[in-house]
Structure 1
Amino acid sequence: MSDKEIGTEETFPVLPSKNKGKGKAIPTKHDKEHLPWVEKYRPHTLSDLISLEYITSTLDKFIKERQFPHLLFYGPPGTGKTSTILACAKRLFGKDWNSSVMELNASDERGIDMVREDIKGFASTRKLFSTGSEFKLVILDEADGLTNIAQNALRRIVEDYAKNVRFCFICNNVQRLNPALQSRCTRFRFRPLKQDQIRSRIEEIAMAENVNITEDGIQALLKLCGGDMRRVLNILQSCSSRDVIDETVIYNCTGYPHPKDMERIMNSLANDEFSIAYSKIKIFMENLSMSLNDIITEVVNYFKIHEFPLSGETMAYFFRNLRLIEHNLNTGGNNTTQLAALIGAYKNALKKADK
């Protein structure tokens, strides 16, 4: 079956409207107040999902006709993949859905033993009592983290126990999933949420939680989340104890470089000599608890907005160096050494542009 594009609207309940009885109320602070907001505002039924209508109707048709296939949900984090399959599970199995569902995260256990012992043991047994569906469901989150050996073993289990169990594979990077597994699934691609959709959720949840967030605070959240509703909720909850959540609070809470700080960093990179630029940026990082990885990300974003004073060839040179610096950081490289490499790469790119 060809890929179906899942809409970018995250699946959150509707707030109570002025017309009493219309829509589903988001829980107040007195309900489930100890839950993380990500769980507190997770949808529970297919009717709560507000993604594209033809997708929810397709899933609903699978369930009604008892023709539920193996599924593959893929796309960026925080776009509703887990919420969608959990809503399907509750529809399939009713209030005791937990007994018919195995949820596993491949980032915790990713080897052959997990497949042979946990998954095969669950898949090889039949349900004693029917709850509307004769099969059980295995939800394998972060499936792209499975080893190749585990994926090969899983392929046989998917084939051999199709009468007993259905699989839902969830991943961010579908290219890392075995093509043989992909071919056995109906694929749904999840895209990042659009900013207007995220904005409406921020406003609704802020109202429900009595959180005072300013317009520049909302803009900062929209910029930082990158279409990830989970990240929006986590940041918003982290900042919720403040009287007012503005742009500065958002950036301070996340430790992400503030746009004004990035302006100073970029000016120093462009205009100061190497040793002065190194000292200034190092002080910025120490005083403001900045991550060099975040600075690199913002350097790239900066050049998406501002005119880059380099040719295509020198841009390619600079970005290749950024990729190498980021790789070094992620594999244990020293922050101060990689900062020097960043400044040196930019200075060299400017020199190449002047020739």
Structure 2
Amino acid sequence: MSDYEDGMDVDAPVDLEDNAVTFSSKQSSGKRSAANLPVEAEDTLPWVEKYRPDTLDDVSGHQDIIATINRFVETNRLPHLLLYGPPGTGKTSTVLALARRIYGAQNMRQMVLELNASDDRGIDVVREQIKTFASTRQIFSSAPEAGGAKSMATYKLIILDEADAMTSTAQMALRRIMEKYTANTRFCIIANYTHKLSPALLSRCTRFRFSPLKEADIRVLVDRVVEEETVNITAEATEALTKLSKGDMRRALNVLQACHASSTPLHIKGQPIPKESDIIRDKITTTTIYECIASPEPADISLIVDTLLKTSDVSSCLSLLNTLKANKGLALADIIASIAEELTKLETPAQTMVTWMDGLA
């Protein structure tokens, strides 16, 4: 049996009056208030979780996808969903916000089964846990919609995060369950790569691709976190952070939190703990961001490119590369990728550019 059913054969009644979906009063803030954590516990949360959106309207970017999913819910015609794309683009946040909209924070426990990459999702899990959860129906459900339509709140929701890590045997068993229990269960499958999923699963889902977020979308949330957490950061460092995140919101927030923590002075043993407002933190600069990500700084890359273009002495270029690797702990692959990006900014004949890129590759 699933953890959400507490060993019971039937689900507990879902208290939905007139199909109204209720939300906690704190959800409008956009923070993860559904956990009802005390202030001390919430302050220790990773910022990725603390600022995870509670509603679909709070999800950054992909407004066309959000509008389509909202329409599915409003018309009670939610199909099986497949959300795929690179990490940190809002796939899991979108599904959790969708579940919160349909069931409300109080009813998610008995109506939603979530399995992620840390769970065992072999054939036994599909046959036992997923099948058992999908096969049980609600005895008490909300009143039907006008015209006898079934409310979305009466369906169960199974979220399979990182589904591309499932074994092929488990995927084959899952497709039959999706067909058999469509009357009372909906599946939300989340994956990074669709080529690792079986064609049978793909054909049973409505697919949405989550592309890397735009820098403007990442900047909006980063600026909000900087303001609410009183992060001492320069405008140039914020710009570098949004650029280096490469469309990954999770990476941007993790790097920002790491830099914020490193800028906080250590507490001296035996001294009284200062108030948050009295702590003087170091300024987070562009150098701080690049060092945290272990990425070469633009000034270093410009120096390498200028050396390559102005001299035919290969040994001096190699010496410069080795110095950067030794002093800053940079990876050669990152340096070469940055050099290639810098070279593409130059105005050169196409054939010359092809020769350069081929040599770097």
Length-normalised TM-score, structure 2: 0.72
The one-letter code sitting in structure 2 at the alignment partner of 1:281 is L
Q: CA deviation at 1:269?
A: 5.2
Query: 1:115 and 1:100 mapped to 2: Cα distance?
Result: 17
Alignment of 1:304-343 (within 5 A): 304-307=344-347, 311=352, 314-315=355-356, 317-318=358-359, 322=361
Task: Tell whether 2:87 aligns with 1:77.
Answer: yes
The residue number in structure 2 matching 1:342 is none
Please point out which of 286, 293, 301 is paired with 1:247: 286
The one-letter code sitting in structure 2 at the alignment partner of 1:225 is S
Deviates more, 1:137-146 or 1:298-307: 298-307
Contact in 2 for aligned 1:107/1:142 (Cα 8 Å):
no
Q: CA deviation at 1:228?
A: 1.4
The residue number in structure 2 matching 1:229 is 249
Aligned length: 299
The one-letter code sitting in structure 2 at the alignment partner of 1:41 is Y
Task: Tell whether 2:216 aligns with 1:196.
Answer: yes
Contact in 2 for aligned 1:107/1:145 (Cα 8 Å):
no
Query: 2:28 and 2:154 mapped to 1: Cα distance?
Result: 31
Contact in 2 for aligned 1:71/1:186 (Cα 8 Å):
yes
Deviates more, 1:89-98 or 1:129-138: 129-138
Deviates more, 1:261-270 or 1:190-199: 261-270
Task: Tell whether 2:328 aligns with 1:260.
Answer: no
3-state secondary structure, aligned to 2:358: helix
The residue number in structure 2 matching 1:283 is 323
The residue number in structure 1 matching 2:48 is 38
Contact in 2 for aligned 1:74/1:172 (Cα 8 Å):
yes
Q: Identify unmatched segments of 5+ residues in structure 1.
A: 1-20, 323-355
Query: 1:119 and 1:262 mapped to 2: Cα distance?
Result: 51
Task: Tell whether 2:199 aligns with 1:179.
Answer: yes
Q: CA deviation at 1:223?
A: 1.6
The residue number in structure 2 matching 1:158 is 178
Q: CA deviation at 1:268?
A: 5.1
The residue number in structure 1 matching 2:20 is none
Query: 1:118 and 1:71 mapped to 2: Cα distance?
Result: 20
Q: Identify unmatched segments of 5+ residues in structure 2.
A: 1-24, 33-37, 143-150, 264-281
The residue number in structure 2 matching 1:119 is 130
Contact in 2 for aligned 1:139/1:168 (Cα 8 Å):
yes
Contact in 2 for aligned 1:107/1:146 (Cα 8 Å):
no
The one-character-per-residue Cα deviations of 1:257-295 (angstroms, maximum 9, x if unpaired) are 111222234445554645544443223212201123322
The one-character-per-residue Cα deviations of 1:108-133 (angstroms, maximum 9, x if unpaired) are 64643443344334333334554763
Contact in 1 for aligned 2:83/2:190 (Cα 8 Å):
yes
Query: 2:81 and 2:87 mapped to 1: Cα distance?
Result: 17
RMSD: 3.1
Please point out which of 259, 269, 293 is paired with 2:333: 293
Which has the greater radius of gyration? 2
The one-character-per-residue Cα deviations of 1:151-202 (angstroms, maximum 9, x if unpaired) are 2222222112223421111122223322221221112222222222222222
Q: CA deviation at 1:85?
A: 0.6
